[in-house]
Amino acid sequence: MVNIKEVEKYLGYPTGADQKTYVLIESLSKEMQSSIKGKFVYKSFDIEKITSDYVKLSDPTITLKGKSIANHLKDCSSVFIFACTLGAKADQLIQLKSHLSALSGLIADAIASDLVMQYCNQCEELIRETLQLGYSLTSRFSPGYGDFSLEVQSLILAALQAHKRIGLTLNESFLLIPLKSVVAIVGVSDKNFRLQTLNRCGNISCRVCEYSETCQFKKEFTIRK
Amino acid sequence: MQLNNKLLIFDGAMGTMLQAKGFIHVIIPEELNIDNPKLITEIHKEYISHGAQVITTNTFGANAYKLSLSKYSTEEIIEAAIDNAKAARENTNALIALDIGPIGKIMRPIGDLNFDTAYEYFKEQVIIGKEKNVDIILIETMSDLGEMRAAVLAAKENTNCPVFATMTFEQEGITLTGTDPEDMILALEAIGADVIGVNCSLGPKELLPIVRRILNFASVPVMVQANAGLPTFSSNKTAYGVKADEFQNYYRTFVNEGVHIIGGCCGTTPEFIQKLSELKEVYRPDVIKKRKSYVSSSQKRVCLDGKVTVIGERINPSGNKKLKPYFQKGDVNPAVKLAFSQIENGAEVLDINTSLPGVDENQLMQNIIDQFNGLIDAPLQFDTINSKVMQTALRHYNGVAIVNSVNGKLSSMEEVFPIAKKYGAYVVALTFDEDGIPKTWEKRVEIAKKLIETARKYDIEEEKLIIDCLVLTASAQQEAVEETLKAIQYIKSKYNVKTTLGVSNVSFGLPNRKLLNRTYLAMALAFGLDIVIVDPEDEGIKDTLMAFNVLYNYDQDSVEYLEKYSRENRRICESNSQAEDRGVLKAESKESKESKEFKEFKKRKEQPLHKCLLQGDIDETRLVTKKLLKLHQPLRVVNHYLIKSLDEIGRQYEEKIIYLPQLIRAAETAGIAFELVRESLNQLKIGLENKGTIILATVQGDVHDIGKNLVKALLESYGYIIIDLGKDVKIEKIIETVGAHDVKLVGLSALMTTTVLNMEKAIISLKHNFKDVKVFVGGAVLTEKYAMSINADFYGKDAKAAVDIANRFFRVN
């Protein structure tokens, strides 16, 4: 299930990894795949109100604050919010590997990053299957992207019962714990988003964006590039 | 509360009933206790009228952490919930259970919740429950054993209510954090849970194998609250497939096999409880079983019966010089590596000793327990005579541990036994007292008897004692060596205790200590020794144990023995043992083998050092370094070869000829070369010059530490001494460490925008407290500009940049 090409990208290789690293990626992938089971939950919300700088969801009420998320969802009538985690086992494995060798820790971390993406894709596919004909999904948008702050995650996790159902929580700084986890919002619209560009916030370029210093998406994108 | 061998019926789900009554989109259902008390009371009433003998308050998430999102306080909500339950039971005999669910945070080291904080959350809840006179405290849907222990202890220490503790298991038979039913039972019975069981996550069919395991192992009554089948989640609804009749059929089996307390979890309704109450006639009380002796962690148990148990002794700073400087700086990271290698070499339990002059033993012990939690699965033995440290260790440890040790002095027994009893720990009991170590075996047996009898007064059964008959050295008191063995033999024949020895004392002051150690070990085993405390990597120990297990019929059909010494290995073993027979030390033969290799190596053209490092070729690196050390002064090897090689590798990294994993591999391989340099410097009786000490920390609130670990690996490869404070590090800790070790350069990492704020606070505090301390920062969201705006002195875009910063800094200073 691990996509080794992606892992190589996370590790910074523009083409492929050197032989020794490749062998290590392969063996760690096997080990992690066999002991990690990702989990996810999702829930749909209606959009009650949308302005240029916030989106109000209903049942239950959650307000998503920020120009970037408002722009991202501007053509949508409802959203799905999903939460996905590899669980404590992944964090434990990464920590243990890091203790034994920084290199193994680095590679285990990259593998887990790829695995969590794969589970996100699975979850998104399930959501897509529930859509009515003529509707499509926007790309994923996560707290931390643009000016969409991390704080909203506490309400989102409570609404999804994420702790009880998949063991996902936050720490005092609103970081998802276990670490290898994703919370994301996908909008539902009757527009076709297939040709969407990589800048999910709708900006043409990070260079013109006032949030580019701190944008989590920009960070993820840079790593994957 | 006496169960009197009767079946006790709990109620079913609260959430399912709320949804059925139209309350679907409630984020905090506990608020309904105040906002709609009639609704909650009605639900309780329905359960009572359908046969529930115990109703559970609507307080699953009513803890201060989860309620931080609420308009009401914990007290308001729990009081209202209990009032609702009381209103519902009115004139019936129904009992009220205060429901306590998980806090909603994850315990250390994965999350940031520590035992003491968890305990305080639970304590607040149970005290309100006690003041409102609830009958039972039900702690349920727990998946972390540590959190469960905190809750059980909070309930036990602050109320007199019976404590019912149920955990949630995955289909594979373990909780989300990796605890299986048996390890749960060991840990919870040890601290006095009155009822243990399982609830939620699975339906009764899937739970059956788990319930059977619990019934086979538990010695307290067992409780089951299953879901109405496996849940299926559609976008907004959760559905469960099992109907009430089918539910009853599964429960008939549970009850038949000995489950004592039954009820329902998600998806169950009063109809289900009605069906369960019909099972009252089915119940047959179970037979009280006798379980073997086990020590356990949250993920593993080790049986102490019917075999020899090996306890690894190496996590001890006085016996392990390499560990000492780390422990002195409060850095417990090397202990993890040491734990891992001992386990790989056959240790089943690990002895942990943190006593060092001038070190906070208590804090260090707690750090190790936190750090090991979930990572190192071997159960632990806490090696301390300080009762405060003992108490801390047992309180925070998620399992059944051993404390090492108590002795025959009255004061020692009075101090240690109450602690051991409270936490259900095993105790190593040394056979000396106020008059010292007796010479004769008879006197030692007398002390053992005193220990056993006194323990009994504290309600500690014999099985929990591990008697150490103490080894004296053959060089000083040769006639006493045999006394120890006789004492073991007598004690084993008379009492149901375990015995242990720290064998290696015997050889002190004599040559070829390993020979004496393994021979004495073999003798002691034959006299009935159960547990050995050794360095499992010590030559001969493992072999002696393997052989003993065959000859004593422990290793049945010699399975393990054959696996280790199969035909292809035999020749090697024989030639080694012949060499030993001739009195040649194995270490020497290894040396001669190496110099032979070295001679061969000298003949061929060597790889340049930087290539060996890049390849991560350990053998080649060792050979090349050795050759260099024969040709040059050690310091020249460092500066002209090692550092230059690393610089060359760094250059290749910057020019994108190689990539991050290769850079880190080279840095880690350079550690091997450094080790050899240190050895040869030691021989010359000079220390390696300290290039500089640097503190590294991932700031408070942030738990991403991969980047920091890479920086550490690279800086260490350049010979810097790193004090690694870990992740989620409080500002005070950084300040304290800088002060204590007079450090001038601090590296901080943070990955998220929210935690960069804490980085800024740490920098302000560092600058305020120390005029001459410089700070470099790194982390994904940071940029040069951002770093400067929060007053950092340097910005390291990657691990290589951190090395450049350190090189510049220490060259100038």
We report the CATH number of the domain holding residue A192 as 3.40.109.40
Reduce the secondary structure of B115-159 to three states and give it as a string.
HHHHHHHHHHHHHHHHHCCCCEEEEEEECCHHHHHHHHHHHHHHC
B375 and A99 within 8 Å at the Cβ level: the answer is yes
Report the chain A residue with the minimal C-alpha distance to residue B753: A214
Ranges of H-type helices in B383-480: 387-396, 410-423, 441-457
What is the pLDDT confidence band of residue A224, given thresholds at 50, 70 and 90? Answer: very low
Structure tokens at B425: 């720990």
Query: Mean pLDDT, to the nearest integer, of B585-597?
Result: 49
B284-293 burial: b if 16+ Cβ within 10 Å, else e: eebeeeebeb
| Phi, psi (rounded to 5 degrees) for B92 | -90, 175
A103 and B665 within 8 Å at the Cβ level: the answer is yes
Residue B206: CB atoms within 10 Å: 18
Q: Which residues contact A164 (CB under 8 A, 6 or more apart)?
A: B101, B102, B141
In this structure, are residues B96 and B132 in contact, taking their beta carbons and an 8 Å threshold?
no
Ranges of H-type helices in B257-293: 270-277
Which SS3 state, helix, strand or coil, does residue B416 take?
A: helix
B191: left (phi over 0), alpha (psi -120 to 50) or beta: alpha
Question: In terms of Cα–Cα distance, which of A176, A173, A122, A161 is closest to A1?
Answer: A122
B305 DSSP 8-state letter:
S
Give yes or no for A128 touching B (CB within 8 A): no
Nearest to B375 among A95, A103, A106 (CB): A95
In this structure, are residues B107 and B373 in contact, taking their beta carbons and an 8 Å threshold?
yes
What is the pLDDT confidence band of residue A218, given thresholds at 50, 70 and 90? Answer: low
B235 and A42 within 8 Å at the Cβ level: the answer is yes
Give yes or no for B661 touching A (CB within 8 A): yes
A97: left (phi over 0), alpha (psi -120 to 50) or beta: alpha
For A89-101, the pLDDT digits (tens) are: 999 999 999 999 9
State yes or no: cis peptide before B109, omega within 30 of 0.
Answer: yes
Is the pLDDT score of A135 beyond 60?
yes
Q: Taking CB atoms and an 8 Å cutoff, what residues of chain B touch A88?
A: 106, 110, 176-178, 374
B176 DSSP 8-state letter:
T
- Interface mutation vs chain B, best among A99, A132, A182, most B CBs within 10 Å: A99
| Sheet containing A62-65: order of strands | A62-65, A54-58, A39-50, A78-85, A181-189, A136-137
Query: Which residue shows structure tokens 């298991």?
Result: B169
**The one-letter amino acid at B148:** M
Distances (CA, A) of B733 to B333, B656, B698, B740, B762: 16, 38, 12, 10, 10
What is the pLDDT confidence band of residue B288, given thresholds at 50, 70 and 90? Answer: low
pLDDT of residue A203: 60
Residue B91: CB atoms within 10 Å: 5
Query: Mean pLDDT, to the nearest integer, of B152-179?
Result: 95
pLDDT > 90: percent of chain A:
70
Q: Taking CB atoms and an 8 Å cutoff, what residues of chain B touch A14?
A: 656
Query: Mean pLDDT, to the nearest integer, of B49-78?
Result: 96
B668 and A102 within 8 Å at the Cβ level: the answer is yes
A11 and B662 within 8 Å at the Cβ level: the answer is no
Ranges of H-type helices in B684-730: 706-717
What is the pLDDT confidence band of residue B108, given thresholds at 50, 70 and 90? Answer: confident
What is the pLDDT confidence band of residue B109, given thresholds at 50, 70 and 90? Answer: confident
Give yes or no for A101 touching B (CB within 8 A): yes
Q: Which residues contact B36 (CB under 8 A, 6 or more apart)?
A: none
Give yes or no for A13 touching B (CB within 8 A): yes
Q: How far is A100 from chain B (nearest CA, A)?
A: 6
Residue B212: CB atoms within 10 Å: 16
Residue B437: CB atoms within 10 Å: 21
Report the chain B residue with the minimal C-alpha distance to residue A158: B27
Is the pLDDT score of B94 beyond 50?
yes
Is the pLDDT score of B575 beyond 90?
no
Distances (CA, A) of A177 to A150, A152, A170, B729: 13, 15, 5, 16
* Rounded CA separation B443/B448 (Å): 9
Is the pLDDT score of B811 beyond 70?
yes
Give yes or no for B587 touching A (CB within 8 A): no
B754 and A103 within 8 Å at the Cβ level: the answer is no
Residue B432: CB atoms within 10 Å: 18
For B533-543, the pLDDT digits (tens) are: 998 888 788 89
Query: Which residue shows structure tokens 């500002």?
Result: B731
Give one DSSP letter per residue of B480-541, joined into a string: GHHHHHHHHHHHHHH-S-EEEE-GGGGGTTSSSHHHHHHHHHHHHHHTT--EEEE-TTSTTH
Average pLDDT, rounded, for chain B: 91
A79: left (phi over 0), alpha (psi -120 to 50) or beta: beta
Reduce the secondary structure of B40-88 to three states and give it as a string.
HHHHHHHHHHCCCCEEECCCCCCCCCHHHHCCCCHHHHHHHHHHHHHHH
Q: How far is A174 from chain B (nearest CA, A)?
A: 7
Q: Taking CB atoms and an 8 Å cutoff, what residues of chain A touch B230?
A: none
Chain A residues 19-48 within an 8 A CB cutoff of chain B? 20-21, 24, 41-44
Query: Mean pLDDT, to the nearest integer, of B377-402?
Result: 96
Q: Taking CB atoms and an 8 Å cutoff, what residues of chain B touch A80?
A: 235
Report the chain B residue with the minimal C-alpha distance to residue A24: B661
Q: Taking CB atoms and an 8 Å cutoff, what residues of chain B touch A182?
A: none
Which SS3 state, helix, strand or coil, does residue B378 take?
A: coil
Is the pLDDT score of B586 beyond 60?
no
Nearest to B374 among A59, A92, A98 (CB): A92
Q: Which residues contact B661 (CB under 8 A, 6 or more apart)?
A: A11, A17, A18, A21, A24, A103, A106, A107
pLDDT of residue B569: 60
Is the pLDDT score of B79 beyond 80?
yes
pLDDT of residue B389: 96
Give yes or no for B230 touching A (CB within 8 A): no
Is the pLDDT score of B579 beyond 50?
no
Nearest to A96 among B25, B112, B375 (CB): B375
B474 DSSP 8-state letter:
T
Give yes or no for B667 touching A (CB within 8 A): yes
Q: Taking CB atoms and an 8 Å cutoff, what residues of chain B touch A173?
A: 700-702, 752, 754-755, 758
* Rounded CA separation B423/B152 (Å): 12
> What is the predicted ipTM?
0.89
Residue A165: CB atoms within 10 Å: 16
Q: Which residues contact B456 (CB under 8 A, 6 or more apart)?
A: B462
Structure tokens at B372: 């090991």
B143 and A13 within 8 Å at the Cβ level: the answer is no
Q: How far is A91 from chain B (nearest CA, A)?
A: 6
B743 DSSP 8-state letter:
-
Is B22 exposed, middle or buried, given 0-12, 13-18 or 19+ CB atoms closer than 10 A? exposed
Query: Mean pLDDT, to the nearest integer, of B298-324?
Result: 92
A101 and B668 within 8 Å at the Cβ level: the answer is yes
Reduce the secondary structure of chain A to three states and give it as a string.
CCCHHHHHHHCCCCCCCCHHHHHHHHHHHHHHHHHCCCEEEEEEEEEEEECCCEEEEECCCEEEECHHHHHHCCCCCEEEEEEEECCHHHHHHHHHHHHHCHHHHHHHHHHHHHHHHHHHHHHHHHHHHCCCCCCEECCCECCCCCCCCHHHHHHHHHHHCHHHHHCCEECCCCCEECCCEEEEEEEEECCCCCCCCCCCCCCCCHHHCCCCCCCHHHHHHHHHC
The count of domains in chain A is 1
Q: How far is A209 from chain B (nearest CA, A)?
A: 15
* Rounded CA separation B359/B773 (Å): 24
Q: Taking CB atoms and an 8 Å cutoff, what residues of chain B touch A92?
A: 110, 178, 374-375
For B267-284, the pLDDT digits (tens) are: 999 999 999 999 988 777
Nearest to B709 among A102, A155, A158 (CB): A102
| Phi, psi (rounded to 5 degrees) for B380 | -115, 155
Is the pLDDT score of A156 beyond 70?
yes
Structure tokens at A117: 């993406």
Question: In terms of Cα–Cα distance, which of B583, B536, B582, B545 is closest to B565?
Answer: B545
For B375-389, the pLDDT digits (tens) are: 899 999 999 989 999
| Phi, psi (rounded to 5 degrees) for B277 | -70, -20
Question: E strands of B623-711, at which residues?
Answer: 693-698
* Rounded CA separation B352/B39 (Å): 54
B25 and A59 within 8 Å at the Cβ level: the answer is yes
- Domains of chain B plus CATH, in order, are 8-281 (3.20.20.330), 294-552 (3.20.20.20), 588-683 (1.10.1240.10), 693-812 (3.40.50.280)
Report the chain A residue with the minimal C-alpha distance to residue B707: A106
Treating both helix axes as pointing N-terminal to C-terminal, what angle do B270-277 and B37-49 enclose, rounded to 10 degrees?
Answer: 30
Q: How far is B470 from chain A (nearest CA, A)?
A: 35
For A20-58, the pLDDT digits (tens) are: 999 999 999 999 999 999 999 999 999 999 999 999 999
Is the pLDDT score of B564 beyond 90?
no
Structure tokens at A97: 């590997």
Give yes or no for B710 touching A (CB within 8 A): yes
Give yes or no for A52 touching B (CB within 8 A): no
Give yes or no for A115 touching B (CB within 8 A): no
| Phi, psi (rounded to 5 degrees) for B201 | 60, -35
pLDDT of residue B585: 41
Is B772 exposed, middle or buried, given 0-12, 13-18 or 19+ CB atoms closer than 10 A? exposed
Chain A residues 189-218 within an 8 A CB cutoff of chain B? 213-214, 216
Distances (CA, A) of B449 to A114, B227, B402, B487, B498: 60, 51, 20, 11, 13
Q: How far is B143 from chain A (nearest CA, A)?
A: 9
Give yes or no for A94 touching B (CB within 8 A): yes
Q: In 3-state terms, chain B is what percent helix, strand and coil (to 5)?
A: 50, 15, 35
Question: In terms of Cα–Cα distance, which of A116, A119, A224 is closest to A179?
Answer: A116
A105 and B709 within 8 Å at the Cβ level: the answer is yes
Q: How far is A201 from chain B (nearest CA, A)?
A: 17
Q: Taking CB atoms and an 8 Å cutoff, what residues of chain B touch A19?
A: none
Q: Taking CB atoms and an 8 Å cutoff, what residues of chain A touch B24?
A: 59
Parallel/antiparallel/unpaired status of strands B309-315 and B531-534: parallel
B111 and A171 within 8 Å at the Cβ level: the answer is yes
Question: What is the Cα gyration radius of chain B?
Answer: 31
pLDDT > 70: percent of chain B:
92
Is the pLDDT score of A194 beyond 60?
no
Query: Which residue shows structure tokens 């009220």?
Result: B96
Size of interface A-B (CB pairs under 8 A): 167
pLDDT of residue A6: 92
Question: What is the Cα gyration radius of chain A?
Answer: 18
Q: Residue A185: which domain range?
A: 4-224
